[in-house]
Amino acid sequence: MTTKRDLNALCEDWAAWHRTRRIFVPPMPSGVLAGMQPRKVGPEPDAICSSMLSFFNLAVLSLPESPEKEALYLFYIHRVSHIKRVASALGISRDAFYKRVESGRSQAYRAYCRMAESA
């Protein structure tokens, strides 16, 4: 079994991988008003190509809709900064939010291990 630190690192890598997926699809057409604004041009991001992170993403997607999955997405994908405020909006304590994130991580990792065994 991996440690909490290893699972956190895996989820951080997954979140970075998740953010780079938009690079592989054509950009959304912009509206008329957006066409009048100068474009912000920066360096092209380096997209991460990893079968392990793709498997982990499938494992997260396969989780049933639950408070743990919601907390996992809020913490890693949406990067909420005020945990106390989010926990209050969910009707739970700050510690309960972190426990849900931890539970979601471990559920996703177990699903990932099952998928990796069968592949």
Give me the DSSP letters along 19-72. Answer: HHGGGGSPPPPP-HHHHHSPP---PPP-----HHHHHHHHHHHHSPS-HHHHHH
Q: Over range 46-63, report the average pLDDT.
A: 87
Confidence bin at 110 (pLDDT 50/70/90): very high
- Residue 13: name the closest of 42, 53, 47, 44 by CA: 53
Q: Is residue 26 part of a domain?
A: no
Q: pLDDT tens-digit profile of 56-105?
A: 999 999 999 999 999 999 999 999 989 999 999 999 999 999 999 999 99
Q: Determine the structural domain holding residue 15 and report its residue range.
A: 4-21+47-118
Paired tokens of 79: 């990067």
Query: Rounded distance, CA 14 to CA 77, Å?
Result: 9
- Measured CA to CA, the distance from residue 93 to residue 68 in angstroms comes to 14
Count structural domains, the chain.
Answer: 1
In a domain? residue 114: yes
Contacts 24+ apart (CB under 8 A), 79-84: 79/15
CATH code where residue 107 lies: 1.10.10
Residue type for position 24:
F
Task: Give the Cα separation of 89 and 18 in Å (integer).
Answer: 25
Residue 112, domain member (yes or no): yes
Please give the model's pTM, rounded to 2 decimal places.
0.78
